């Protein structure tokens, strides 16, 4: 057929039919994709639950043993218990990551927006780590300031605070300390977790911040930080890192969540 | 012989107040206290180091045949004690007077 001639009516009809067929196929594939995502999420939740149960039991037994024999624990045994504790905490963090991944939709982390009492969520995050800090002889302090009511996903914000606290705790040795602060401004609030652990060079800070924006390396510190970064960004906030004697991980959250698409 | 010591927790036990608070607990134990009444009714926060000292006091008092009595733990203090599993191991009272009567 001569391409200079206008298409026949029947050709246009064919094209429309093909287009409709492709649209129907695409719609079916999309439905299938959502269906697979739903089952993936359910499976991840089940797996996380099944792993968490024995870990909780192991932790409980270890705590009872440590409490009962605390006066008989030698420095060497104490170091082994610290290693045990650190690894259990790492496993728990990975389970939390699994649960978070289970909640990912096609746009990244899904948020359920509502009023957030930031200090209450940070308090819950801090008390979760109390036993861990105590067992490892790390001083965990809190300075919770006046913060305005925020709009956001309370569960994810608590999760983000836990990721920051866990990241800091993982860096510290017995006798060191960390402070968790909240600081309110008119248009939002800061969560800051500062420690007196080993400092990071400016280059290391820049590398971590760069890797947070790209795909994370599979190292424990950066997985937790990556999750915290994603949650902050989804709320329209951001994560900063400073190092001056120790390290401060800080997250800014706007008063009203300005939901953004997850950066890939 | 029963010896009861009452300690009133400061409003906030953080890095600045922690040493003084722990010193008070250790003094009570050094004076052979069998029971310590810890008044937390005005306390908003206790840090992990102070909580560790409280746990140690709990174990020492139990070994002496006594106990730790906590008055009105609330908010974050209660949450911390709950997370540590302490609430089932100590006696909780609403007022210092009630805690004294329990001795």
ipTM of the complex: 0.72
pLDDT value, residue A262 = 43
**pLDDT higher at A183 or A82:** A183
pLDDT value, residue A249 = 95
Q: Do you know the residue count of chain A?
A: 264
pLDDT surpassing 60 at residue A260: no
pLDDT digits (tens, 9 = 90+) for A64-104: 777 777 778 887 887 777 777 777 877 777 777 777 766 66
- Using an 8 Å CB-CB cutoff, list chain A residues near B75: 123
Nearest to B76 among A123, A139, A179 (CB): A123
pLDDT surpassing 70 at residue A5: no
Window A:217-236, CB contacts with B under 8 Å: none
Output the CA torsion sign for B63, B69, B74, B77: negative
Q: How far apart are CA A229 and CA A95, in angstroms?
A: 18
B16 CB burial (10 A radius; 0-12, 13-18, 19+): exposed
Nearest residue to A192 via CA among A132, A138, A255, A147: A147
pLDDT digits (tens, 9 = 90+) for A6-40: 666 678 888 889 999 999 999 998 888 888 877 78
Could you tell me where the DSSP H helices lie in A172-243? Answer: 202-213, 220-234
Residue A35 CB partners (closer than 8 Å, separation 6+): none
Q: How far apart are CA A246 and CA A244, in angstroms?
A: 5
Nearest to B76 among A67, A127, A131 (CB): A127
- Using an 8 Å CB-CB cutoff, list chain B residues near A196: none
**pLDDT higher at A49 or B8:** B8
Q: Mark B78-94 as b/e (b = at least 16 C-beta within 10 Å).
A: bbbbebbebeeebbbbe
The mean-pLDDT minimum among A12-21, A120-129, A191-200, B83-92 falls in: B83-92
**pLDDT higher at B22 or A219:** B22
Give the pTM.
0.72
Q: How far is CA A18 from CA A13, A21, A24, A27, A85, in A?
A: 9, 5, 10, 14, 61
Percentage above 70 pLDDT, chain A: 87
């Amino acid at each position: 057929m001569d391409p200079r001639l206008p298409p026949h009516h029947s050709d246009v009809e064919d094209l429309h039919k093909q287009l409709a067929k492709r649209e129907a196929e695409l719609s079916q594939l999309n439905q299938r994709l959502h269906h697979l995502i739903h089952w993936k999420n359910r499976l991840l939740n089940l797996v996380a639950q099944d792993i968490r149960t024995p870990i909780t039991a192991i932790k409980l037994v270890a705590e009872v043993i440590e409490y009962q024999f605390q006066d008989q624990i030698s420095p060497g045994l104490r170091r082994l218990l610290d290693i045990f504790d650190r690894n259990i905490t790492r496993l728990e963090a990975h389970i939390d990551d699994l649960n978070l991944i289970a909640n990912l939709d096609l746009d990244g982390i899904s948020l359920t927006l509502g009023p957030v009492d930031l200090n209450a969520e940070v308090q819950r995050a801090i008390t979760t780590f109390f036993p861990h800090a105590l067992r490892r002889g790390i001083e965990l302090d809190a300075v919770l300031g006046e913060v305005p009511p925020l709009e956001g996903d309370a569960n994810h914000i608590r999760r983000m605070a836990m990721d920051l606290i866990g990241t800091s705790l993982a860096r510290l040795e017995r006798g060191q300390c960390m402070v968790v602060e909240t600081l309110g401004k008119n248009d939002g609030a800061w969560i800051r977790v500062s420690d007196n652990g080993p400092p990071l060079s400016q280059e290391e800070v820049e590398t971590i911040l760069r890797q947070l924006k790209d795909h994370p390396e599979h190292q424990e510190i950066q997985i937790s930080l990556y999750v915290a970064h994603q949650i902050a960004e989804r709320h329209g906030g951001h994560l900063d890192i400073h190092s001056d004697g120790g390290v401060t991980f800080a997250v800014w959250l706007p008063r009203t969540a300005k939901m953004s698409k997850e950066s890939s | 012989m029963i010896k009861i010591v009452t300690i009133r927790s400061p409003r906030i036990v953080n890095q600045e107040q922690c040493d003084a608070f722990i010193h008070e607990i250790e003094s009570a134990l050094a004076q052979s206290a069998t029971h310590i009444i810890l008044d937390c009714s005005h306390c908003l926060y206790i840090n992990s180091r102070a909580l560790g000292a409280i746990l140690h006091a709990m174990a020492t008092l139990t070994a002496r045949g006594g106990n730790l009595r906590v008055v009105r733990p609330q908010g974050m203090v209660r949450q911390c004690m709950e997370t540590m599993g302490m609430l089932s191991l100590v006696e909780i009272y609403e007022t210092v007077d009630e805690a004294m009567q329990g001795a």
